A and B are shown apart, each in its own frame.
Chain A
């Protein structure tokens, strides 16, 4: 009996080991079939293998689309299915594989390092330089030149997507921050003019007063300030610019922190007064992030919020604000009349492992979507489908921030706007007007913007939770911290 059990356990062990080994073997096989997976030294060998594949034009290629809509957005998926049909008419050799990927910092590196990144994916405005430095994304300079798109990209946005003169992405949308307004709350507080348009604040001082009126009249927060994560610091830099602050300067090729300037301190004192003198913020700014800000605005928990034109679907489609109850105004001016709008671009980027043919296919697909700087019938059809989809879902169809500088494409976009415009353009007038003023658009602070935001966010958290916080001391600490981070990283 004992022998039997022993024999049995031995057999079971053997079975377990063999299944494990065979599982390992299978894994190796898939690794082999995907040459991308290898570590840096061996990519040279596999890279030579890829072009031979691409040399034959009729070769079937796979296009994995990370920009496919997520499962719940059925209308968007239908739209994309239409795009695929149009696309395959001209590209019969390309198999389009939906591979919805919502960029997230905790999933990105594993996907990229295992070679499973979709050919094309969207990422955040904050990420391009990080992804380029990490060698995760493909250099598409030559292909863009071949397509003649390089000069059509808005130069300041192109700069954000480039390193050492090479381009690594193309803009999906440009964005510039503005002041989003919940018109319903303005109406309830009686803050509308004779024609019923909201009377929006033109300076930050006015914003505090307006916010107070709204809070007194409706009980809702007047303004939603973010202080949960780096988005807080990101918004704050834009507020502080209006007060005359500049956070990072350059001396002899080295970055110098300038966080504790009197102007920046004045801006932080202003934010502090929003919490303790006016008391117009949401109950806990330290738990408000980018998305919860839109939720507050959309659901009527806050009347004003800093947001960009490419996020108008957030308060409306996502959080239920009626399409005609959203307005956007220029960000208020500071005490000396300075006024800036932080701008940048939301990029499409391409997997490091994608072959040139796959990247070409991806660009062609963008053309079908109407997101490329070309005006063909397909592209116009794509834009129309997109605009129709927005109308159906209660998303404002407004001007795009010009990420392309090609006049033809701007004209085509204007035609679409005329046909599908579903909101009163006066509600967005001051926002689009200010963007045309010379010097209003301003790019993110140079140096190490995310670290700057992190330091500023800590100060924001301190001033909104502690009535007795000493702003000057906190900003001085932030300045020292930021300088030490700069010296230990980018200034090396």
Chain B
């Protein structure tokens, strides 16, 4: 009897000691935890709840199970948005994935004016996103008042349709995204490349390797895991594409560029149908959680 008491006491003391040791850590984390709980976790759980109810504004009315989910899935625009979202991802990989790698390699290989080029590629990132999107909207204008069409007319090319050609809409929006985002991603690659042991290059040069061989046998293998990580991050980011198509095309022409996030936006801010917006968001969230799981797996295998 007494023995067990003693062991529990000992255990308690041990636990107390642990708590005392950890208390500073917890205290340091406390503000963040409170903020996270208040601004991230609570709204997240709340929107799951919201998606299962009908509502007036955001005031819940009655429990309807998965009705909102069915409503959202049955909406005629859903399939368009769903397919488009994957088109965005596909094009962003075709157009956007290799550009930063190429930029990074070019900049690291540059000897003179490195700083200038670095600033140059990062420059579009400094601009406010909305201003950039609106500016490129003027570039892509069809007819003879669009900037690109004016330039093309100088070399005798007929005005093109740009964004209003449904086949081009998504690729052109992806070009916009790439133009804006490639610089920042290139920096990550530059850091990665700079982290490669320079002796490898020296040895390779001594062995008579040219630039192409150095890239193929040293640079690329050494940045492979970084590329894998950035690939998944890019997919997650593009999955949530919203304001570029919203501003440039409003999802058109005829749904050619509508994304799932824009459907969410429309439900919430055009129709005030928050439960529908929430149920669509919850479904997106599940997909993103799966993708994030892949991301963690990819980064863990790197270590």
Contacts and interface: CB of A to CB of B under 8 A. Distances in A.
A16 B31 contact: yes
B271 A450 contact: yes
B57 A134 contact: yes
A109 B57 contact: yes
A105 B250 contact: no
Contacts of A455: 76
A39 interface: yes
A190 B176 CA distance: 44
A384 interface: no
Interface residues of B, number: 38
Interface in A61-116: 105-106, 108-109, 112-113
A476 to B, nearest CB: 12
Contacts of B165: 465
Given A20-B34, A284-B143, A112 B57 contact: yes
A40 interface: yes
Interface string A2-37: 000010011001101100100000000000000000
Contacts of B56: 40, 133-135
A462 B254 contact: yes
A9 B166 contact: no
Contact of B272 (A16, A134, A464, A485): A134
A283 B144 contact: yes
Contacts of A130: 271-272
B155 interface: no
Given A109-B272, A112-B57, A286 B27 contact: no
A480 interface: yes
Contacts of A450: 270-271
A310 interface: no
B259 interface: no
A106 B74 contact: no
A113 B24 CA distance: 39
Contacts of B269: 105-106
A10 B272 contact: no
A286 B249 contact: yes
A339 interface: no
A108 B274 CA distance: 13
A488 B255 contact: no
Given A17-B27, A462-B254, A283 B143 contact: yes
A106 B164 CA distance: 27
Contact of A228 (B24, B145, B252): B252
A106 B74 CA distance: 25
Given A284-B164, A457-B252, A461-B254, 8 more contacts: A13-B31, A14-B27, A17-B31, A40-B56, A109-B272, A228-B252, A462-B254, A465-B165
A206 interface: no
B76 A465 contact: no
A199 to B, nearest CB: 27
Contacts of B253: 227, 286, 458, 461-462, 464-466
Contacts of A17: 27, 30-31
Interface in B54-84: 56-59, 71, 74-77
A100 B59 CA distance: 26
B165 to A, nearest CB: 7
B100 interface: no
Nearest to B55: A134
Nearest to A130: B272
Interface residues of A, number: 46
A481 B75 CA distance: 8
Nearest to B161: A465
Contacts of A14: 27
A180 interface: no
Contacts of A429: none
Contacts of B1: none
B146 interface: yes
Closest CB pairs A-B (n = 3): A283-B143, A481-B76, A461-B253
A135 B272 contact: no
Contact of B141 (A40, A229, A284): A284
Interface string A206-235: 000000000000000000000111000000
B265 to A, nearest CB: 8
Contact of B145 (A39, A283, A286, A489): A283
Nearest to B254: A462
Interface in B248-293: 249-250, 252-255, 269-272, 274
B142 interface: yes
Contacts of A411: none
Nearest to B61: A40
A136 interface: yes
Contacts of B30: 13, 17
Contact of A284 (B31, B34, B142, B274): B142
A485 B146 CA distance: 37
A10 B252 contact: no
A257 to B, nearest CB: 12
B254 A459 contact: yes
A484 interface: yes
B206 interface: no
Contacts of A133: 56
B270 A135 contact: no
A484 B72 CA distance: 12
B143 A480 contact: no
Interface string B219-256: 00000000000000000000000000000011011110
Contacts of B254: 458-459, 461-462, 465, 474
Contact of A287 (B28, B57, B75, B141): B141
B76 A286 contact: no
16 contacts: A13-B24, A17-B31, A40-B56, A112-B57, A135-B56, A227-B253, A228-B252, A283-B143, A283-B144, A286-B250, A287-B137, A455-B76, A461-B252, A466-B253, A480-B76, A488-B74
B146 to A, nearest CB: 7
Nearest to B146: A283
Contacts of A6: 24
B272 A105 contact: yes
Interface in A291-309: none
A10 B24 contact: yes
Contacts of B249: 286
Contacts of A228: 250, 252
Contacts of B166: 465-466
Nearest to B31: A16
Nearest to A462: B254
A456 B13 CA distance: 73
A459 B76 CA distance: 14
A368 to B, nearest CB: 32
A22 to B, nearest CB: 13
A372 to B, nearest CB: 29
A10 B27 contact: yes
B142 A40 contact: no
Among A112, A457, A461, the most chain B Cβ lie within 10 Å of the Cβ of: A461
A109 B141 contact: no
